[in-house]
Amino acid sequence: MTTFKDMNLQVGVRLQMALDHGNKKPIFYTELIGYVDGEYLIVKTPFENGLSVQMQVDETVTLRILSGVDVFTLTCKVKTIFRGPHYYMHLSFPTDIKTIALRGAVRAKVNLPVKVNGVDGAGVISDISVTGAAIIADKALGEVNKEALISFDFPIKPSNQSAHIETSVTIRSIQQLPSKKNDVPPRFSHGISFHELDLTSQVMLLNLVYESMNRL
């Protein structure tokens, strides 16, 4: 069982916060200010469109944190809310902590246009995880074990603001897909792995994966 100390969290780490609003679980981003071991966490109040997100004392929140090669999920309750000018809150100290190893991260089906080596519309990302993706294209986009530069956009829930990912990748595999019709040329599926995404990009991708799989 994972303990809080196992996470080795540092002050300032970025957090993904999901509110428990029945079938709708809006997601926001915030930051860890500090904690008192065994008593409470201190986090910044998340903002949306320039306004602090409205929450209630005793409301349940789910925090998702990327640390090292693991993603930790914590369930807490809002204990105290402090308004302006500083806007922060105390959350109950987590006791149930779940862990997902990034190397075994789940993949989600998506349909995201992707730019490859500066070429718009080079292909479409058909599935994705926080470590890699599959790209479908009309032609081979390179060679196996060669690097490429890709970029793509997707909406961030709940505000639907556009997230932009730009990163170098390694092409791990290329497979020619059979044509369903004789007069249609074959397409190619590429398995790629991401290179050292920054923390914010990894958290946004994690959010995309969970949203696509309806796991939040």
List of residues 6+ apart from 146 with CB closer than 8 A: 170, 171
List of residues 6+ apart from 209 with CB closer than 8 A: 105, 106, 107, 108, 128, 129, 130
> Six-digit token pair at 163?
């997230």
Query: With the CA atoms of 87, 66, 91 and 210 taken in that order, what torsion angle do they form, in degrees rounded to the nearest 10?
Result: 100
Q: What's the pTM value of the predicted model, to 2 decimals?
A: 0.61
3-state secondary structure of 21: strand
- Residue written as token pair 């991401």: 194
pLDDT value of residue 157: 65
Amino acid at the residue 152: F
| Residues pairing with 51 in the sheet | 48
Map out the domains of the chain with their CATH numbers: 4-102 (2.30.110.10), 105-212 (2.40.10.220)
Q: Walk along the chain (216 residues) and give the pLDDT tens digit of each residue.
A: 788 888 888 898 888 888 877 666 788 889 999 999 999 999 999 998 888 999 999 999 999 887 766 788 899 999 999 988 899 999 999 988 988 776 556 778 899 999 999 999 899 999 998 889 999 999 999 999 999 999 999 987 656 678 899 999 999 999 999 877 766 788 999 999 999 888 778 778 877 876 665 444
Confirm if 196 and 166 have CB atoms less than 8 A apart.
no
